[in-house]
């Protein structure tokens, strides 16, 4: 069975209606129903994760490509879990996952791409952005942190910025983890109920939850305004964690395979070199 990641891709210039995308859905996953399906999914995650580990090793060894993954989602959307499961076992020397929190005063005194540009991947590196410059057209737009005249221009800045990174040798993949409002409620409730999750609960998340519709509109604006051929957005239904992991892994593995990477050539004398006793 091939998993066609194109079906999750936001075609440049197309409209996005998130209300019509089922967050419970499992597109491109053969539905066999029930528990077996989930168990098959988990098995697939193990296989794909092995493949990703090998590809990351190759990326690091070859040292030619730079790979940037942008992860965005609502609170409790599964960004942390995705990073933990999908990138489990990769070589930490070649991978970073910077999180973009509320900007500091120092960051706020510069343009919004300043802190982001500093974190982009170098040669051979795989970098996963846990939130990103997209916050500057999401939370900033919803909460009116800057006026519309200012944030409205940012879609084009972002497209240009990302195109520059691509033109200079970066591969970019952007993933929006799509959960439903009901699923968010369950996950936030779990943060209240389970002692080991209490630390994750922030009352501020409830204020954001109240603005759910506004956030969906802002996400649609970002997906429509910035999904390009070279820096595409993928919408991954993420209510079911196993499916989310399968889909993100398929996107990662297929994207890395397209780079046709090769281990660097061996030393010309390798066959005749003798290691002294
Ligand atoms: P978790 O899902 O585990 O709660 P998180 O990604 O929400 O993790 P937090 O520290 O709880 O991490 O939240 C970071 C907060 O910073 C978010 O509310 C986000 O919207 C906010 N933020 C990020 N970038 C910006 C920005 N440019 N301007 C304003 N707020 C921002
Ligand atoms: Mg949070």
Residue 33, both tokens: 């129903």
In a domain, 265, yes or no: no
In a domain, 271, yes or no: no
pLDDT in tens, 114-124: 999 999 999 99
pLDDT in tens, 191-213: 999 999 999 999 999 999 999 99
Residue nearest to atom 20 of ligand 1 (CA): 139
Closest atom, ligand 1, to C-alpha of 77 = 2
Name residue, tokens 């398929």: 250
What residue numbers bound the domain in which 186 lies? 6-259
In a domain, 85, yes or no: yes
Residue nearest to atom 11 of ligand 1 (CA): 202
Q: For ligand 1, pick from 70, 73, 75 the residue to mutate: most ligand atoms within 8 Å of CB.
A: 75
Residue nearest to atom 25 of ligand 1 (CA): 102
Residues less than 5 Å from ion ligand 2, measured at CB = 75
In a domain, 246, yes or no: yes
In a domain, 276, yes or no: no
In a domain, 214, yes or no: yes
Q: How many Å is the maximal CA-CA distance in the chain?
A: 71
pLDDT in tens, 70-86: 999 999 999 999 999 99
Domains in the chain, number? 1
CA torsion sign for 146, 149, 151, 154 is negative
Tell me the C-alpha distance between 177 and 82, whole Å: 9
In a domain, 145, yes or no: yes
Over the Cα atoms of the chain, what is R_g? 20
The answer to whether residue 32 scores a pLDDT higher than 90 is no
Residue nearest to atom 13 of ligand 1 (CA): 101
Interaxial angle between packed helices 79-86 and 34-62, expressed in degrees from 0 to 180 and rounded to the nearest 10: 70
Tell me the C-alpha distance between 246 and 45, whole Å: 5
The answer to whether residue 227 scores a pLDDT higher than 80 is yes
Residue 122, both tokens: 């170098």
CATH for 108: 3.40.50.300
In a domain, 270, yes or no: no
Q: Name the 3-class secondary structure at 101.
A: coil
């Amino acid at each position: 069975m091939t998993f066609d990641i194109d079906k999750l891709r936001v075609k440049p210039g197309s409209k996005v209606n998130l209300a019509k995308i089922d967050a419970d859905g499992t597109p491109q996953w053969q539905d066999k129903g029930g528990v077996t399906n989930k168990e098959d999914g988990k098995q697939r995650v193990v296989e794909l994760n092995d493949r990703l580990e090998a590809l990351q090793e190759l990326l690091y060894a070859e040292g030619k490509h730079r790979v940037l993954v942008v992860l965005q989602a609502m609170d409790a959307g599964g960004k942390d879990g995705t990073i933990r499961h999908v990138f489990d076992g990769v070589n930490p020397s070649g991978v970073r996952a910077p999180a973009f929190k509320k900007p500091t005063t120092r960051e706020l005194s510069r343009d919004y791409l300043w802190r982001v540009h500093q974190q982009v991947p170098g040669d051979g590196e795989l970098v996963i952005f846990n939130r990103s410059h997209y916050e500057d057209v999401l939370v900033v737009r919803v909460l009116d942190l800057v006026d519309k005249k200012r944030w409205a221009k940012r879609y084009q800045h972002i497209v240009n910025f990302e195109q520059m990174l691509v033109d200079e040798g970066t591969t970019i993949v952007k993933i929006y983890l799509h959960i439903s409002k009901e699923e968010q409620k369950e996950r936030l409730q779990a943060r209240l109920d389970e002692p080991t999750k209490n630390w994750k609960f922030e009352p501020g998340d409830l204020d954001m939850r109240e603005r759910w519709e506004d956030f969906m509109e802002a996400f649609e604006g970002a997906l429509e305004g910035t999904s390009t051929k070279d820096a595409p957005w993928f919408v991954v239904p993420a209510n079911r964690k196993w499916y989310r992991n399968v889909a993100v892994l398929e996107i990662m593995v297929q994207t890395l395979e397209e780079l046709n990477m090769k281990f660097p050539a061996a030393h010309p004398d390798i066959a005749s070199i003798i290691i002294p006793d």
